């Protein structure tokens, strides 16, 4: 009822009582005013909710509040470090396509339904728009001395395309990985030596996740900077510890800036200062590493595949020097946690499949350097890794901004809609995979329907797909093969997983590496 309508209704009720000579048994005189007030509150709330709820029509989802949108859920019902569980719960409540609303009134549509995911991710886009992380944008724009742009991960449109074209060709080339394989063998061997040194008498490696972090750091620095830095030596250097802590803080601050109260936008809160510290620390340490690598490269006549990535990026005249440095920093930062988490998840899942571990061991040649052909000839290695990416991907959803309208489960989403593609949640649905919640690497050797392989997208999709994919797959396959050659893996209980903008194991993780 409109406000004038409510007023007229109240006037009518009052005049009705005035016309009757006998007073009512109950005193109804306050009722019209009460009705008027209730109507006014209902009308005002409806207007306010319409203003904050920008969801595409009829999409289900949690109720949005003025100024808070649906974010209040992450400060009350759900825990921010268990966001994967929060989304699983929302999919149960609202179905496989639902919408949230940001405090600014923008709709964010979450999808875990196969047809809808394929519709969104298969939309061919020349310059796919992935919504940037606002806190990174704000910080980097405040430092024009260091950043000419917000970087490959956060840029959009032509600027993104320019960076992508000039920065990733070397990283994604099969030739680069073939050249890097001997170095990767040696890094993996050093990692195994470190594991051996850290094993307790029963084979337990306490703080296994921290060791994998160091391995991620050594290998990604080796790939990008073309030299070894000794992060796998027995005693962890202060530099490695600080860099690993900064990389974790960087991801967590991004999570909190997105899902927490947006106070950092108005004042330099602790969250913003933590983020700035992590950016600063990563920048300073990686810049030092780059300087060391550059002077080593200048002092040696070595011309191997490792040096090419680093030097070619730095020598590219099409790019601003600030963009080149920022890219190398971003590549290193992108690789540390992701690689380490993926290895922990892989070994944890395999610990429940001693038979598959045995199978890997039987397919991989004993000892020494492993060549690409030897790894390719062991389908059990690839199957184990693929299945771990299906069941526990460190990046469980992909963000996109629709460039054209898309029909999703009967709802027409207009161009510009912010969509979260929950490939991880979709992979756990029984309508997409046979015995979907179980770790069954055999499904990748002989297929059992349903088997929606296209939903397994741990590195993303399309032109914005992760440029580190080839490197990461090669490294995980190699490490898995080498670990299985030497030990079988055991883990007691269930791994505690948290959401740090990526899915991560809750630290510290203790695995047992037992002699065969």
Cα–Cα distance, 136 to 282 (Å, whole number): 13
Q: What's the rounded Cα separation, in Å, for the pair 224 and 332?
A: 7
Cβ proximity to ligand HEM: between 73 and 109 the closer is 109
């969801």: which residue's tokens? 55
Under the binding rule (CB under 6 A), the answer on residue 159 touching ligand HEM is no
Applying CB under 6 A, the span of 47-55, 202-210, 355-363, 456-464 interacting with ligand HEM comes to: 456-464
Give yes or no for residue 499 binding ligand HEM (CB under 6 A). Answer: no
Strands 107-111 and 418-421: parallel
Q: How far is the CB of 510 from ligand HEM (least distance, A)?
A: 22
**Residue whose Cβ sits closest to ligand HEM:** 460
Q: Is 342 in the site for ligand HEM (CB under 6 A)?
A: yes
Among 249, 398, 440, 509, binds ligand HEM (CB under 6 A): 398
Q: Which of residues 205-264 bind ligand HEM (CB under 6 A)?
A: 220
Q: In the complex, what is the shortest distance from the CB of residue 133 to ligand HEM, in angstroms, rounded to a whole number?
A: 11
Q: Which of residues 404-443 bind ligand HEM (CB under 6 A)?
A: none
Q: Which is nearer to ligand HEM, 10 or 417 (CB)?
A: 417
Q: Angle CA(472)–CA(354)–CA(361) in degrees, nearest 5?
A: 60
Joined tokens for residue 204: 């337990």
Least CB distance to ligand HEM at residue 203 (A): 26
Q: Judged by CB under 6 A, which of 13, 276, 465, 514 binds ligand HEM?
A: 465
Angle made by CA atoms 441, 443, 445, in degrees to the nearest 5: 85
Whichever of 162 and 265 has its CB closer to ligand HEM, that residue is 162
Strand order in the sheet with 487-490: 204-205, 511-515, 487-490
Known binding-site positions: 466
Listed residue (326, 319, 276, 376) closest to 162, CA to CA: 319
> Out of 61, 103, 424, 458, which residue is the one contacting ligand HEM (CB under 6 A)?
458
Q: For the chain, count helices (H), then strands (E).
A: 18, 11
**Does the footprint of ligand HEM cover residue 334 (CB under 6 A)?**
yes
Nearest CA to 468 out of 373, 322, 330 is that of 330
* The binder of ligand HEM chosen from 59, 90, 440, 466 (CB under 6 A): 466
- Report whether 122 contacts 110 (CB < 8 A): no
**302-319 as b/e: b if 16+ CB within 10 A:** eeebbbbbbbebbeeeeb
Return the range that interacts with ligand HEM (CB under 6 A); candidates 32-40, 201-209, 336-344, 431-439.
336-344
What does the alpha-carbon distance between residue 98 and residue 58 come to, in Å, rounded to a whole number? Answer: 10
Residue that the structure tokens 């810049």 belong to: 287
Task: Output the smallest distance, CB 100 to ligand HEM, in A.
Answer: 19
User: Binding of ligand HEM at residue 479 (CB under 6 A)?
Assistant: no
> CB of residue 469 vs ligand HEM: minimum separation in angstroms?
7
Using CB under 6 A, pick the residue from 279, 330, 490, 500 that binds ligand HEM. 330
Burial class (CB in 10 A: 0-12, 13-18, 19+), 157: exposed
Residue list, annotated binding site for heme: 466
Told to check if 338 binds ligand HEM by CB under 6 A, we report yes
Report the 3 state secondary structure along 172-204. HCHHHHHHHHHHHHHHHHHHHHHHHHHCCCCCE
In the complex with ligand HEM, the residue whose CB is nearer, 271 or 309, is 309
The footprint of ligand HEM on this chain (CB under 6 A) covers a number of residues equal to: 27
CB of 10 to ligand HEM, least distance (A): 56
Which SS3 state, helix, strand or coil, does residue 56 take?
A: coil
Interaction mask 117-156, ligand HEM, x per CB under 6 A: -------------x---------------------xx---
Q: What is the DSSP string of 197-234?
A: HH--TTSEETTHHHHHHHHHHHHHHHHHHSS---TTSS
**With respect to ligand HEM, which residue has the nearer C-beta, 227 or 338?**
338
Nearer to ligand HEM, 39 or 346 (CB): 346
Q: How far apart are alpha carbons 173 and 196 in whole angstroms?
A: 33
Least distance from ligand HEM to the Cβ atom of residue 393, Å: 7
Residue 305 touching ligand HEM (CB under 6 A): no
Shortest separation between residue 467's beta carbon and ligand HEM, angstroms = 5
> Which of 464, 477, 488, 512 contacts ligand HEM by CB under 6 A?
464
Is there binding between residue 164 and ligand HEM (CB under 6 A)?
Answer: yes
If one asks whether residue 467 binds ligand HEM (CB under 6 A), the answer comes out as: yes
For residue 388, the surrounding DSSP H or E stretch is helix 379-391
Nearer to ligand HEM, 10 or 110 (CB): 110
> Dihedral through CA 300, CA 306, CA 308, CA 309, nearest 10?
-130
Tokens standing for 496? 């505690």
Residue 215 φ then ψ, to 5°:
-65, -40
329/317 Cα distance (integer angstroms): 19
Residue whose CB is less far from ligand HEM, 323 or 330: 330
Q: Which stretch binds ligand HEM (CB under 6 A): 7-15, 86-94, 110-118, 328-336?
A: 328-336
Instruction: Give the binding site for ligand HEM (CB under 6 A).
Output: 130, 152-153, 164, 171, 220, 330-331, 334-335, 338-339, 342, 394-395, 398, 458-461, 464-468, 471-472
């Amino acid at each position: 009822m409109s406000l004038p309508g409510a007023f007229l209704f109240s006037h009518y009720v009052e005049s009705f009582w005035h016309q009757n000579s006998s007073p009512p048994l109950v005193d109804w005189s306050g009722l019209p005013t009460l009705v008027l007030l209730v109507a006014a509150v209902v009308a005002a709330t409806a207007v306010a909710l319409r203003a904050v709820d920008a969801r595409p029509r009829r999409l289900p989802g949690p109720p949005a509040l003025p100024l808070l949108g649906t974010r209040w859920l992450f400060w009350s019902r759900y825990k921010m470090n268990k966001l994967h569980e929060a989304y699983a719960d929302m999919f149960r409540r609202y179905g496989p396509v639902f919408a949230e609303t940001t405090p600014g009134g923008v709709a964010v549509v979450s999808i875990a339904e196969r047809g809808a995911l394929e519709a969104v991710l298969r939309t061919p886009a020349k310059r796919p728009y992935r919504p940037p992380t606002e806190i990174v944008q704000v910080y980097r724009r405040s430092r024009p001395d260091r950043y000419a742009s917000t970087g490959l991960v956060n840029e959009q449109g032509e600027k993104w395309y320019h960076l992508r074209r000039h920065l990733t060709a070397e990283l994604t080339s099969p030739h680069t990985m073939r050249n890097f394989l001997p170095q990767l063998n040696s890094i993996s061997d050093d990692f195994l030596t470190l594991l051996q040194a850290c094993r307790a008498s029963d084979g337990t490696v306490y703080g296994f996740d921290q060791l994998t972090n160091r391995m991620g750091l050594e290998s990604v620095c080796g790939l990008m900077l073309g030299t070894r830095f000794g992060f796998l030596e027995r005693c962890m250097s202060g530099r490695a510890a600080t860099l690993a802590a900064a990389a974790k803080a960087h991801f967590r601050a991004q999570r909190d800036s997105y899902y927490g109260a947006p106070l950092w936008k108005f004042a330099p809160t602790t969250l913003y200062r933590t983020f700035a510290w992590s950016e600063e620390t990563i920048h300073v340490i990686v810049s030092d590493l780059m300087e060391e690598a550059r002077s080593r490269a200048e002092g040696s006549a070595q011309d191997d595949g490792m040096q090419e990535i680093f030097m070619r990026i730095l020598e590219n005249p099409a790019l601003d020097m600030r963009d080149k440095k920022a890219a190398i920093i971003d590549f290193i930062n992108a690789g540390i946690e992701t690689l380490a988490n993926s290895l922990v998840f892989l070994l944890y899942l395999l610990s429940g499949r001693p038979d598959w571990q045995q199978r890997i061991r039987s397919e991989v040649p004993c000892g020494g350097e492993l060549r690409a052909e030897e790894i390719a000839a062991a389908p059990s290695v690839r199957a184990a890794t693929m299945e771990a990416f299906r069941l526990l991907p460190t990046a469980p959803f992909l963000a996109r901004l629709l460039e054209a309208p898309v029909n999703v489960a009967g709802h027409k989403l207009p161009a510009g809609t912010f969509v979260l593609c929950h490939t991880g949640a979709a992979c756990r649905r029984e309508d997409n995979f046979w015995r979907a919640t179980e770790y069954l690497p055999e499904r990748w050797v002989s297929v059992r329907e349903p088997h929606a392989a296209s939903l397994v997208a741990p590195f993303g999709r399309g032109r914005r797909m992760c440029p580190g994919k080839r490197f990461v797959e090669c490294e995980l396959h190699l490490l898995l093969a080498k670990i299985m050659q030497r030990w079988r893996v055991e883990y007691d209980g269930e791994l505690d997983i948290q959401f740090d903008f990526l899915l991560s194991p809750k630290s510290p993780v203790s695995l047992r590496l037992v002699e065969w």
